[in-house]
Amino acid sequence: MATSVVIDWDAWRAAYPEMTFADQQEFYRVVAIEHPEQQHFNTNAAISAFEQIDEPSFTVVELGGWDGALAYHLLDRFPILRWINYDIVSVEPQVCIDRRYHPVELDDWFWNERRTADVFVATHMIEHITDRELGELFDCLDVDWIYLEAPLLIDGQKWYGYRGSHILELGWKDVVAMLYERGYEPAYSERDIGLWRLT
């Protein structure tokens, strides 16, 4: 029988700058065991946002899609050719078993490689990386559309005392500014949710 681990989230945040990818991957293996329910997305908002994508067919690259639940809800509703879900750890079982869906366990930071698709998706993921890493994430993308969900305040937030692996201090105002700087404009938005299109 597995022994429960008490995770010191603030200690993790303090150590984050010195942790390697392998360190983070091992940390998230523990998180996956201790907190197996990691599905966080708004299905109706995602459907409404994807309805704005005026492509006859398109490909999706997702970061942090866990067990593929969002792909499961969207693949049969839209003309999606391929959906690749990159995550720091493998999760079994996968909810989505569609032949167009491909889960991939990363062996290095996602942003250390150019990522090409029509649409990038990250739901309740960007709050788990640092401000610098978010910039690197946006810079690695070769996509026309970006769909994000994240529990951020407008002007940013600190996470000390928060029981979870949230670390991003940037708020929505800064995130949107970063997207504008990279040529993206809003196509759909709700509270904590947005779709941006490359202009």
Q: What is the CATH T-level fold of the domain 9-198, as seen in this structure?
A: Rossmann fold (3.40.50)
Domain assignments of the chain as residue spans, ordered by start: 9-198
What's the pTM? 0.95
Amino acid found at 71: A
Here the tokens at position 159 are: 């996470």
DSSP designation for 89: S
What is the phi/psi pair of residue 134, to 5°? Answer: -65, -40
Number of H helices, E strands in the chain: 6, 9
Starting at the edge strand found earlier in the chain, the sheet holding 58-63 runs 101-105, 80-87, 58-63, 119-123, 145-149, 193-198, 184-190
Q: What is the pLDDT along the chain (199 residues), one digit of tens a residue?
A: 344 568 999 999 999 999 999 999 999 999 999 988 777 899 999 999 999 999 999 999 999 999 999 999 999 999 999 999 999 999 889 999 999 999 999 999 999 999 999 999 999 999 999 999 999 999 999 999 999 999 999 999 999 999 999 999 999 999 999 999 999 999 999 999 999 999 9
